[in-house]
Structure 1
Amino acid sequence: MASTIRDVAQLAGVSVATVSRVINKMGGVRPETERRIEDAMEELQYIPNVLARSVASKKTKLIGMIVPDIENPFFAAVYSGADKIVREFGYTTLLGGSNDTVDREEGLLQTMMEHQASGILLTAAFSRTKWIDRIGNRVPICLVDRDIEGIECDRVLIDNRRGAYDATKLFIQKGHRKIAIITGPLESTPGRERFEGYKSCLEDYGIKIIPDYIQIGDFRENSGYQLGRHLLQLNDPPTAILSSNNLMTLGLLEIIHTSSFKLGVDLGLIGFDDLPIATLMSPNLTVISRPMNEMGECAANMLIQRIHSPTKPKQTVIMTPHLIVRGSESINF
């Protein structure tokens, strides 16, 4: 027969309440007593009944996390940072990928509500889902990377405009005047704000904005490939391209590799988000680097604080990206 919490308490010589405090990481238990309880749990092979606890308390130690693409290294890094904090507080992370579709996102939100998630970390799909409004007043939500207007919740975002502005400015300082951008959907926070940063910089430096140089992708590798090919086949192609995310940069690099253009010789490139291959290329890839792990850590901390203190003022944290200059932005004019 499986051991119970009462068996653990009896073997450790403490109350059931003290055992419960140790299991739920509530603190207030002397270290020697905590060790005695942990030894008793190990000896009895006691496994806490999470389902029973959640039914009784109507609370779980579950944090839901929804991202657009679980295979994207950026979101994998954000998840890693968030999960580290979640585990430190004794919670478990349930991760789901929406594939940037409203139907999939709604299904994941519904599943997390059915599992009585204590809070949700959300990087929303491009269109707003009614489920966000439905659960917003019932379960704490922290938005990560993408903003949604009209939602009262905590947020951890990035200064996309500054990142794109600084990258475009670097191109200009290197002598470029024909600067293109492959951005994401303009209905998404990153797509819109990165385009705005690019456009604002060109305007500030009096450089003509050429419509053919503005290409709107979907943050997927194939769109980087297809839109990059379109740019390189223009009668007057750009001398520099700003790629608005890591996967589109990979697609763009593929088409550059198969074209007559030589990176760092007759075409400059800067990508949003660092890549493992960035320093394996020649020239090394210049990138706008975001603090990916830190974004996840910050969002998880804010969400758990919200769970414990529901009435505290909502917070918005905007993190700063920074340029890592490696040489791919320059060409021989």
Structure 2
Amino acid sequence: MKIATIKDVAKLAGLSVSTVSRYLNNHPYITDEKREKIQKAMETLDYVPSSVATTLRSNKGKMIGVLVSRITNPYFSYLIDAMEKVIKAKGYTLLIVQTYDDEKAEFKMIEMLKQKMINGLIMCSVENSSEIIEFYCKYGPIVICNQRVDSSEVHQITTDQEKITYEAIKYLFSKGYKKIAYCTGGSFSLKSHGLLRNNGFKKAMEENNKIIDSRDIFENIHTIEDGYKIADILIKNSDENWPDAIFTGSDEVASGLIIKLLEYGKKIPEDIAVMGFDNQPFSNMVAVPITTVSQPVEALGRESAKLILSLLNNEEYYIKKEELTLKIIERKSV
């Protein structure tokens, strides 16, 4: 594919190369009319600034982007470590960007595919629509890791988050807990981050004829500090509103919740059972070891890396789905 040059942009825009150069260097003395012509020409030609284009033409650019919501989350740290071991062995490097669940920050990274600044992109968190992601696939391969978008065109490495959440809530009911609180990484809406887990929770509640009480739903929950905050909220509840158990959605939140509740003099699980998610290494080291869901983090990272490398090299790759199973790990917090 021929890469557009500044001369091509100038020709299409009907302007001089020097005018386009001044535009690219943010020169203030360019009319709005000329700016608009240059922008339209660049979009039509998929023009890439020369420094990046030169790297691409020389075939030295071997960069794969990775999007995560927060690198401080141990889940993402271990995930990226597994990816890098595979990708580095093939001569590629990773460019890691944290989005903090910000749609605009994510979009800027996706745009880097179009600008040829990265060869491919692995998305470990997703905020933009499937239509946008599909559109940008023409600029380079995109792999969705452990998230799900409504598209048959986008390559996805997934685990069954809905099923395991359903099984986790059913597990809590089987242990005799009747009033279950729930944490989600997004909102509790139909199109939110965490939708699949939300669906699993709702299904289990419905099957057990339980009404979902909004006071027992905690939204946009991610960190140890969030766990502290939930404990502060719960401790103000009257006995009749006190939940028997809480599904926290992550071991970070679970550990923060346990630490704070113990400070308040509550007993785990006698006063309230706490269930995490991810099976992080520290989850068995807190004061009350956390009952959690084990995710195949290494397999997720490895399979995502192998898939995107195969797409970059036009090779077939069959995902090892048998390695992407989830299971409940029973410990003392339930």
Q: TM-score, normalised by structure 2?
A: 0.73
Match of 2:205 in 1: 202
Q: Note closer, same or farther for the CA distance 1:171–1:232 as it changes in structure 2 (3 Å cut).
A: farther
Residue pair 1:228, 1:252 contacting (<8 A) in 2 also: yes
Cα-to-partner distance string for 1:233-265 (whole Å, 9 max, x where unaligned):
222200111001233223323431332321122
Residue pair 2:86, 2:305 contacting (<8 A) in 1 also: yes
Distance 1:227 1:151 in 2: 38
Is 1:255 aligned with 2:256?
no
Deviation at 1:69, TM superposition (A): 0.8
Distance 1:288 1:124 in 2: 19
Identity within the alignment, %: 23
Deviation at 1:293, TM superposition (A): 1.2
Unaligned runs of 5+ in 2: 1-51
Is 1:226 aligned with 2:223?
no
Q: Secondary structure at the match of 1:177?
A: coil
Is 1:303 aligned with 2:308?
yes
Match of 1:55 in 2: 57
Deviates more, 1:138-147 or 1:206-215: 206-215
Match of 1:173 in 2: 174
Which runs of structure 2 are paired with 1:61-72 in the superposition (5 Å)?
A: 61-72=62-73
Q: Note closer, same or farther for the CA distance 1:179–1:52 as it changes in structure 2 (3 Å cut).
A: same
Match of 1:83 in 2: 84
2:252 alignment partner AA: L
Distance 1:162 1:133 in 2: 26
Deviation at 1:66, TM superposition (A): 1.2
Match of 2:109 in 1: 108
Residue pair 1:154, 1:314 contacting (<8 A) in 2 also: no
Match of 1:13 in 2: none
Match of 2:216 in 1: 213
Q: Note closer, same or farther for the CA distance 1:164–1:190 as it changes in structure 2 (3 Å cut).
A: farther
2:236 alignment partner AA: Q
Distance 1:309 1:129 in 2: 23
Cα-to-partner distance string for 1:73-104 (whole Å, 9 max, x where unaligned):
01111111111111222222121111211222
Residue pair 1:153, 1:315 contacting (<8 A) in 2 also: no
Distance 2:154 2:317 in 1: 9
Distance 2:74 2:146 in 1: 14
Q: Secondary structure at the match of 1:93?
A: strand
Q: Note closer, same or farther for the CA distance 1:127–1:261 as it changes in structure 2 (3 Å cut).
A: farther
Q: Note closer, same or farther for the CA distance 1:313–1:283 as it changes in structure 2 (3 Å cut).
A: closer
Which runs of structure 2 are paired with 1:1-333 in the superposition (5 Å)?
A: 54-57=56-59, 60-111=61-112, 113-114=114-115, 116-128=117-129, 132-150=133-151, 152-186=153-187, 191-235=194-238, 236-309=241-314, 319-329=324-334
Deviation at 1:126, TM superposition (A): 3.1
Unaligned runs of 5+ in 1: 1-49
Residue pair 1:66, 1:98 contacting (<8 A) in 2 also: yes
1:289 alignment partner AA: S
Residue pair 1:217, 1:224 contacting (<8 A) in 2 also: no
1:198 alignment partner AA: F
Displacement over 6 Å in runs of 4+: 50-53, 312-316
Deviates more, 1:130-139 or 1:235-244: 130-139
Deviation at 1:214, TM superposition (A): 2.0
Q: TM-score, normalised by structure 1?
A: 0.74
Q: Note closer, same or farther for the CA distance 1:127–1:141 as it changes in structure 2 (3 Å cut).
A: closer
Distance 1:258 1:113 in 2: 51
Residue pair 2:56, 2:116 contacting (<8 A) in 1 also: no
Q: Secondary structure at the match of 1:278?
A: helix
1:210 alignment partner AA: D
Distance 1:204 1:241 in 2: 18
Distance 2:195 2:222 in 1: 12
Distance 1:53 1:100 in 2: 31
Deviation at 1:206, TM superposition (A): 3.1
